[in-house]
Chains A and B, each alone.
Chain A
Amino acid sequence: MNKQQISQLIDQVDSSYAEEAAMCFISPKSCSKSSALVLILLSLVCISVFVILPGMRKTDTDKYGISKLVPIEVYSEEILSVVPKESDMVPLNQEDVSRFLSGNDSLCPAQDQEHRYFWAEQDASGVKNVFLNWSFGSDYSKHYFNSVFSFIPDTVHAYRDVYLRTFHENVRTIGNYQVCLIQDQNEVLHLFMFSGDQMISLTCRRQDKGLLGPAVRMLVDDGIKRDALE
């Protein structure tokens, strides 16, 4: 049987069976008695949590803007496999680090030999960010993404708690970092790296996911420190 025949075969499924199955994900409680019982218990737990800590989860979600992010489902392992293992780490070139951190708080663009464009600035709220566009290969216009390093000790722990709790299945430990990979509704990948007071966010298009590995290799290093920017 070829795929087309199989597909046509499945098409013959009686509508009553198809609709019965659809009700499983529309109303999971109709699937089985045991799942209904689980749902009731879960509801009770949720109510208890919300009574004890009213609105806390919702506040977190709204405050940190994660309501529009979803855990990667089908392809999570495939994508996470591009993130290198700790044993694959190579130290960041110290010369690059120095050059990279040479920007002051004012806009200070610079370019190194590997087509990495970077600058540091302080936003209105006092958060210090380093922006980095970089490319791999000869045509950087097709392969780049931005990195934002935000050193906000007062809130970075809260961000970390919320992200790592909500997307715990997508979290890996690499070197000193806890790395969390998520994609948004537009299939844009967001990779968050947490270490101490430091939070690094990498964003790239899904089709450029192969860039995440080299990027993380460059970033997981003690060379980039909050102290260096202060």
Chain B
Amino acid sequence: MASPEVDREETNRAAFVRRLSTRGGTLGVSVGPGLVWLVLLLLAPLTFMVAVSFMEISESYDILLQPTLGNYEALFAGDGPVWQTPFFKALALSYFIASVTTVLCLVMAFPLAYLLARRGGRTFKVVIFLVLLPFFTMYLVRAYSWFLMFGPSGVINMTLITVGLVDGPVEVFGYGVPAIIVGLTHAYFPYMLLSLYASLDGMDFTLVEAARDLGASRFDALKDHIIPLTLPGIIGGSLFVFVPSVGAFITPRFLGLNKVQMVGQLIEDRITFAYDIGYGSAASMFIVVSIAIGFVLAFRYVSIEDLGGA
């Protein structure tokens, strides 16, 4: 014999289910929280930053509701021509370093991804483990580990000197642009590898064999079949390497050792030491807009879903 209380509970539950099962109910529950969170903590802050970049900031860091282009002018203000200003130099250096890093990652990751896609079993598991472990290791720790390797008295230089190959520290193994590029390549290489692996893994290798049977050279097979078929992976991987490289902070901070300044460091410097939010937001806008343009160009060839995990 069912007690009336249980009945009431069942009815409540049924009513709740009915309300939830309406179109509005399902959408409200599934879209609602994400929408609120993203609007309040992503869209609003970014919009606010755009607004701040166009507003005047008082001496006491108050945001005055007066539209101005002063923050943008300040980016390129200084003695001498535009390309001598710190911001322009930092931005150009960042794009240069990010481009070299992306190309290096691509060239290095492709053979390994190819090998992994063609092979299964135990070797595969061991290699994947060896690649994933540095990937899951803290980014800061990896940057620091290269900090130990480079430098005038770093591990590389001291080893070379001890072995007797060189007499004094070698400039290339000191801190600077080459060290930053190595550090960033090490940091973002797994993104490229996993991106390429994902698209090579889904590739039909019988197509390549067919092309070879029909007389295509190895190079032709690579150029006409493998590369076009893995293009989404190449573009996705390049984005995952290039974008964080442009805005990198920790790696250039350790491996550039104040000799060079990338744009991420420049912005951090202005915010941390002077709380110069006008400068910081205007400079951030430059990075965001340039990245957005890159995305629009990339998505003409690949959809955001193809980018997959990583």
Q: Do these two chains really belong together in a complex?
A: no
